[in-house]
Structure 1
């Protein structure tokens, strides 16, 4: 069974830069298990990357080590022409808006892109299971609620990335 780990911007912000202990713990855990964190294009942009550049990292991205070492990977562009991807992303926007009591047009695209990437990976058969690592509880709840409604029961897991999670993370989290 192939599991893909999808991460949001908050994971990297919470880690701090490459000189921080939390960043190094995450890095070691991923490298020891040969796991990569996949991020949507919108997350890459939030981290300071330029998706139009020939290669990443680009611009003034704060986590170039992860990209250069291969444990952070920018996922393929979301296929908005796929009705499942666009429907789930629209549903996620509504779900997050309801859960946070905000207008739908105020929901960040990166939040819905996390859920969109999860469903796209599952729908295309690129993976059997997705683990969503996020500091955004509404986005994580949206993924765990909506994907089973579209036939992906027991194939999505949301893990809340707290400071404590990052301070104690080991390779066992990815085995």
Structure 2
């Protein structure tokens, strides 16, 4: 089974930066397991990077070592022409709006991009399992509720990245 790990901005914010123990624990766990975190370009932008630059990282991104070491990877642009990707992203926006009682127009695009990337990775066959690491419970629940409706039953797993999760994280989480 091929698993892809996708992370949101909140994971890095919750880590507190490269000099913090939670960040180092995340880095160490991923490197020991030999896997990387994939982030949508929207997340990269939120972290301060410029996805239009020729080489990652760029801007004032505080996680440059993660990109240089390869345990954080910026995903290719989402294929919005793929009906599955665009449909899932629309459904995620509606799901989050309904769950949080907010207007659809103010739902963060990075939240929909997380689940859109999961759909794209599964649809292209790049992976048969996606683990979504996020601090955004509505986005995680949207992924678990909506992707099975598109034929990806048992293919998505949402892990809520709490402080406790980061403080006890080991490579075992990624095997």
Give TM-score scaled by structure 1 length. 0.99
Residue 140 (1) aligns with residue 107 (2): no
Question: What are the residue-to-residue correspondences of 1:59-70 with 2, within 5 Å?
Answer: 59-70=59-70
Q: Distance between the aligned counterparts of 1:173 and 1:16, measured in 2?
A: 20
Residue 75 (1) aligns with residue 41 (2): no
Tell me how far 1:17 sits from its aligned partner. 1.1
Tell me how far 1:32 sits from its aligned partner. 0.2
Tell me how far 1:166 sits from its aligned partner. 0.3
Question: What are the residue-to-residue correspondences of 1:115-154 with 2, within 5 Å?
Answer: 115-154=115-154
Kindly provide the CA deviation profile for residues 8-65 of structure 1, in whole angstroms up to 9, marking residues without a partner as x.
Answer: 0000000011110000000000000110000000000000000110001100001111
CA RMSD of aligned residues (A): 0.4
Kindly provide the CA deviation profile for residues 77-126 of structure 1, in whole angstroms up to 9, marking residues without a partner as x.
Answer: 00000000000000000000000100000000000000000000000000
Tell me how far 1:156 sits from its aligned partner. 0.2
Matched residue, 1:33: 33
Q: Distance between the aligned counterparts of 2:31 and 2:136, measured in 1?
A: 24
Q: Unaligned stretches of 5+ in structure 2?
A: none
Tell me how far 1:130 sits from its aligned partner. 0.2
Matched residue, 1:156: 156
Aligned length: 175
Q: Distance between the aligned counterparts of 1:19 and 1:49, measured in 2?
A: 19
Q: Distance between the aligned counterparts of 2:9 and 2:62, measured in 1?
A: 11
Q: Distance between the aligned counterparts of 2:18 and 2:12, measured in 1?
A: 10
Matched residue, 1:44: 44
Q: Unaligned stretches of 5+ in structure 1?
A: none
Residue 95 (1) aligns with residue 95 (2): yes
Tell me how far 1:155 sits from its aligned partner. 0.3
